[in-house]
Structure 1
Amino acid sequence: MDIFVAALLPMAVVFIMFSLGLGLTPADFARIAQRPRAFCIGALNQIVMLPLIAFGIILGFGFTGETAVGLMILAACPGGATSNVITKLANWDVALSVTLTAAFSLTCVITVPLVLTFAVTYFMRTEAPEIDITSTAITAFLLTALPITVGVALRAFTPKAAAVIDPPVSMAATLLFIAVIAGAIASNWQIVRDNFASLGLGLIAMVAVVSFVSFALSRWLQATDREAKTISVETGVQNGALALAIAGLLVPDGPIFNAYAVPAALYGVVWLGSALPAFLLLARAGNT
């Protein structure tokens, strides 16, 4: 099963990012210039506020070592495509949601290596693994920026074909993501069960605090109600598959599901069991 997860994980992340790019047009990125305030508020929440809250949660719950690093990796990853679906269901700002997801998936080539380097240095100290920044950045580029770019290019040059394959590709990407998370959990069920009691509450707290503070901060910075809700969901949803892939880099020639990957795998359980129903209820309330 570990071999299954290791082989499927990079392919799943690439496919998910490609499906995201396939639904984008160059005009989506032009919205950044048209709506700089909303985008900058989203960037502040995702790139600055989210890692800071994750750091506070780690200190508050007393997490150390690989667990702390794994949580910081998760916080450094961009939002998942699920946030776009929730935003659409709630009739919030879909254009802003898609733009933020795509933009931060591209910029994670820079942000993930920086947060990762800080995390292993601060929490691992003398036991910190050697981090190859260049290799990590290249890996992040190959897993995120490149497939998104390919998807955008395909949509730009063959719009009719892209429109036809977009729905099944999006569905396949979602199923592939579920398969990866389920495979990682199933193949390491004992590890997941042993860590859920101590780590699960911290993950629930992180999602709840991040979502609430993100909304409040957005409103305080004069974002509209729809924009603030969109930014809150975007900041509260993380790309767990990408976090698993990044965690696997920290143990060369080791299992893809290592101690650093436990928070990302547990996040899938927490997300499906608590955060997703909460967001869906919020989305339903937004339509009434």
Structure 2
Amino acid sequence: MDLLINVGLPISLAIIMLSLGIGLEIADFRRVLSRRYPFAIGAICQVVLLPIAAFATVKLFALPPEIAVGFMLLSFCPGGVTSNILSKLAKADVALSVSLTAVISLLSILTVPILAAWAIGHFMGENAPEVSISGLAVAMFLITTLPVAIGVAIRNFAEGFADRVDAPLAKLATALFILIVVAALAGNWQLFVENLGVMGAGLISLNVALLLIGLGLARVANLSWKESKAISIETGIQNSTLGITLAALITGTESGFSPLALPAAVYGITMYAVAIPFLIWFRSR
């Protein structure tokens, strides 16, 4: 188990982020400058409203401290490859979705360590493990930012090679994601069973609320329907593998997968059940 957490988990996340980077082009970052307003609305939803909604959900469902921290860690995570795929299936503005995923993923090296340290201290109090913000930032850079940058560089300088490895990498990333979720659930099975009702209800409620919040704010901001759908998905779909990895980085590996990883692991399953009805609705309009 320690080998899976120490080696397999970081490598798996790095491969997933590399897969994200290979699907990106320099133009995806330049697009932010030409579409400042839609991007700003999406960024506000992800960076500001998402953690606020998670905090409200934690309080509303009176979740145990470790589960509450897991919820907050998940809310700090940006979208991933999944959000881009779902945007395409929903006939949303894929370019906007990709731009948001790319930039917010790179910014997470700054936002996530600080917010994670706050959440640990706020909810766990005296039982909180010591969190090194600088150490977490370095780890975030190595397993998220650097692989994305390498992927973008490969796409920019060797487009043919990027096209060939894109699909196999995506399949490998999916397989690794499933393995990580199963391992995290198995390592905390008793805690998972004991908290499944309240945790599942909280995650599903949060997921639905976020999809609606993103959609509602985009419509109030008078964005197009395609842009609104993209922002809804980017707000409601988080990188659960990063949430699991953050939990492992914060608590270490002495006792296997941390209970802090449970919400992200369960979310990795429930988000599809929540997303499917929205996809059907989005595709019909």
1:230-261 deviation per Cα after TM superposition (whole angstroms, max 9, x unaligned): 11101101111110110112223424511211
Q: Does the CA-based 8 Å contact 2:54-2:75 persist in structure 1? A: yes
CA contact (8 A) 2:188 2:258 kept: no
Matched residues in 2 for 1:275 and 1:9: separation? 26
**1:87-166 matched pairs, under 5 angstroms:** 87-166=87-166
Once superposed, which parts of structure 1, at least 4 consecutive aligned residues long, lie more than 4 Å away? Answer: none
Q: Check 1:106–1:206 CA distance in 2 against 1; reply closer, same or farther (3 A cut).
A: same
1:159 to partner: Cα distance: 1.2
Q: Give runs of aligned pairs for residues 167-246 of structure 1, distance below 5 A.
A: 167-246=167-246
Deviations 1:143-164 (A, max 9, x none): 1100000000111111111112
Q: What is the aligned partner in structure 2 of residue 17 from structure 1?
A: 17
Amino acid at match of 2:174: T
Residue 59 and residue 185 in structure 1: after superposition, are their counterparts in 2 closer, same or farther (change >3 A)?
same
Letter in 2 for 1:124: M
Contact 2:2–2:254 (8 Å) recurs in 1? no
Tell me which moved more, 115-124 or 100-109. Answer: 115-124
1:49 & 1:72 partners in 2: Cα distance?
A: 12
Quick one: percent identity of the two aligned structures?
A: 41
Question: Aligned-pair distance for 1:192?
Answer: 1.9
Give the corresponding residue for 1:282: 281
Q: Give the 5 Å matches for 1:256-271.
A: 256-271=256-271
Distance 2:3 2:266 in 1: 19
Q: What secondary structure is seen at the aligned counterpart in 2 of 1:84?
A: helix
The letter of the residue matching 1:172 is L
Partner Cα distance (1:282, 1:142) in 2: 38
Number of equivalences: 285
Q: Which amino acid aligns with 1:241?
A: T
| One-letter identity of the residue aligned with 1:143 | I
Aligned-residue CA RMSD (Å): 1.6
- 1:178-234 per-residue CA deviation (whole Å, 9 max, x = no partner) reads 222123223433332222112110011110111111110111122211111111101
* Shift in Å, 1:285: 2.3
Mapped to 2, the partners of 1:234 and 1:184 lie a distance apart of 24
Equivalent position amino acid for 1:264 in 2: A
**1: CA distance, partners of 2:112 / 2:250:** 13
Contact 1:233 1:279 in 2 (8 A): no
Shift of 1:173: 1.4
> Retained in 1: the 8 A contact 2:188–2:259?
no
User: Would the aligned equivalents of 1:5 and 1:183 in 2 still touch at CA under 8 Å?
Assistant: no
What is the rounded CA distance, in whole Å, between the counterparts of 2:103 and 2:61 in structure 1? 31
User: 1: distance between equivalents of 2:157 and 2:48?
Assistant: 35
Letter aligned with residue 284 of structure 2: A
Tell me, in whole angstroms, the C-alpha distance in 1 between the residues paired with 2:178 and 2:35.
33
Structure 1: which 5+ residue stretches go unaligned?
none
- Structure 2 SS opposite 1:250: helix
